[in-house]
Amino acid sequence: GAGVSQTPSNKVTEKGKYVELRCDPISGHTALYWYRQSLGQGPEFLIYFQGTGAADDSGLPNDRFFAVRPEGSVSTLKIQRTERGDSAVYLCASSSTGVSEQYFGPGTRLTVT
Amino acid sequence: GEDVEQSLFLSVREGDSSVINCTYTDSSSTYLYWYKQEPGAGLQLLTYIFSNMDMKQDQRLTVLLNKKDKHLSLRIADTQTGDSAIYFCAERNQKVTFGIGTKLQVIP
């Protein structure tokens, strides 16, 4: 079975542009998480979906960040008016309800120039 | 809020045991995790422990949890060069909070 996949693997964009990052969770996993990992840091929680709804979006840094999961499977993280400080690796993870393990994707490395 | 702290660096000789320590603040944590991240790679779950346990052993890995002191440790027996990586401690209530990571260097 396929693991969590994320596309693109790398994204370079100019300051002020809009970007979308995609996550395909493991089939059947109802929970989906987005994290951001800056250089030399641990992953920082952004948002958690249970099914289609955002159960906890307290980690989103500001209103330029938004995420959706319209059919309870694939999720898209959207960043408007990107800033250089948004440069990081964006990680997605999924898990089954009631199961403790989160399975991480390889991440999308975002570079804002 | 939740906070997870761990030392930044550990160096051991091949064949020795490694002990990586972590402290956390959230007394409501349900699970505590150890993840491994190799250069340029994603996060790999090594092991986890439920908060009502005090020890878990899995082959060369031993996790000890002192819930009273909110202290978690990971012991790697017979450390190999392939164990060189960054090890993240994480705790979960609803969301997961990660530490900054401990870089383990194994000297041949």
Q: Could you read off the pLDDT of A43-96 as tens digits, one per residue? A: 999 999 999 999 899 999 999 999 999 999 999 999 999 999 999 999 999 998
pLDDT at A107 over 70: yes
Q: What is the mean pLDDT of chain B?
A: 92
pLDDT at A1 over 60: no
Which of A25-34, B79-88, B89-98 is least confident?
A: B89-98
Residues in A closer than 8 angstroms to B99, CB to CB, are 42
- Asked if B45's CB is within 8 angstroms of A106's CB, the reply is no
Residues in A closer than 8 angstroms to B90, CB to CB, are 42
Mutation choice for A interface testing from B32, B95, B102 by most A CBs within 10 A: B95
> Which of B45, B95, B100 is closest, CB to CB, to A56?
B95
A residues 55-84 lying closer than 8 A (beta carbon) to B: 55-56, 58-59
How far does A43 lie from chain B, in Å, by closest CA?
6
Residues in A closer than 8 angstroms to B88, CB to CB, are 42-43
Q: Would you place residue A98 in the very low, low, confident or very high pLDDT band (cuts 50, 70, 90)? A: low
The closest of A96, A103, A84, A88 to A3, measured between CA atoms, is A103
Cα B99–B100–B104 angle (5° rounding)?
A: 105
Q: Could you read off the pLDDT of A59-70 as tens digits, one per residue? A: 999 999 999 999
> Which of A56, A100, A105 is closest, CB to CB, to B42?
A105
- The 8-class DSSP code of residue A70 comes to T
Q: What's the whole-number mean pLDDT along residues B19-36?
A: 92
